[in-house]
Amino acid sequence: MEFKSKIKTIEWVDDYSKMVDQTVVPYEYKFVNITKGDDMFLAIRNMIVRGAPAIGIAGAHGVVLYAQELEKENLSREEFVAKLIEKAEYMKTSRPTAVNLMWACQKQIDVIKNSKSDIKGIIEELKQNGIKLENEDIEINKKIGDYGAEVVPKGATILTHCNAGALATVGYGTALGVVRSAYAKDNTIQVFADETRPRQQGARITTFELAMDGIPVTLITDGMCSYFMSKGMIDMVVVGADRIAANGDTANKIGTYTVAIAAKYHNIPFYIAAPLSTIDTSIQSGNEIPIEERSHEEVTHINGKRICAEGINIINPGFDVTPHELIAGIITEKGILRPDYNKSIAEAFSRI
């Protein structure tokens, strides 16, 4: 039986991009229409849309929006192509860590470079490619979900960190895709969701979407995970990824590394669930992954209210890197990759 999720995070409609505004979830579940390339850049940077695969699709849509704007400038085809590629390169810089963003913008650049059409034709090809990437994202997530469900024990409690769900993708989710596919086979499984300070994606978004889909979820604060592991209450961990190096080192939301260490200590399998588009084979290890530094206010304030003394130091990296030794498997659309990751990742890419 296939699990039907009610959530579609982002989609191309006529000549604009429609997305769930994730800055207001769970207080509101509302959609915003993005009609300009620069607005898409800001929507990604300010996390109206977030999650590696979702910002990839947003970037691809953003390139179409830029193309529509440039069409009005009466440029020659050559000028149009040169300016559009510049804009697509700029879109890649809207956030630095999730490689799906660069991957999807590059897919659009490839369309522009390979097109034999006039300006109107290029825009149409970019739209169609954006829609194709959207549809593929859901299909890929379902495959990830189905492969992952095979390693979920009966009646398992699955711990997850941040939100790697339908709202971090076009729909269905990666880590929560595994949960959805497992739940369709065994409705006695449940999720423990880490709160995920500072932006609380676990509390705000993961619990929201699981509750919406009727999957049992318990919210815990970030510091509680080892306690529940020590009590035998967690059977496995599944998280998403923003960028995976060729050796399997994985960047994901800050705090993931701590969860992985705790899981190792308690002999609990720690899995990454991610599409191959999250794997950056151009880098050898996690040391090369750029880590986003976000605003200090995310740490000093909750809901607009300062929670700490004035005049103190703040550091706010958005991601950390979990070393490959702590990862039991990387669940992809091509199956579950196991150590040695250098080998299994290369082998998975050879099957694309």
Point out which residues bind ligand MRU (CB under 6 A). 50-53, 98, 162, 164, 168-169, 174, 201, 240-242, 252-253, 318
CB-nearer residue toward ligand MRU: 98 or 159: 98
Residue 249 a catalytic site member:
no
DSSP state of 287: G
Q: How far is the CB of 53 from ligand MRU (least distance, A)?
A: 5
Q: How far is the CB of 100 from ligand MRU (least distance, A)?
A: 8
Q: Helix crossing, 52-71 with 77-91: angle to 10°?
A: 150
Q: How far is the CB of 49 from ligand MRU (least distance, A)?
A: 9
CB-nearer residue toward ligand MRU: 51 or 286: 51
CB-nearer residue toward ligand MRU: 82 or 314: 314
Report the C-alpha gap between 49 and 82 in whole angstroms: 27
* Strand residue runs (E) in the chain: 10-13, 16-20, 31-34, 157-160, 190-194, 217-220, 236-239, 243-245, 250-253, 270-273, 279-280, 301-302, 305-306, 319-322, 329-332, 335-337
Catalytic residue among 242, 249, 280, 320: 242
CB-nearer residue toward ligand MRU: 57 or 348: 57
CA–CA distances in Å: residue 92 to residues 60, 99, 252, 275, 331: 10, 9, 18, 19, 26
Q: How far is the CB of 28 from ligand MRU (least distance, A)?
A: 18
**Residue 31 forms beta bridges with which residues?**
20
Residues annotated as part of the active site = 242
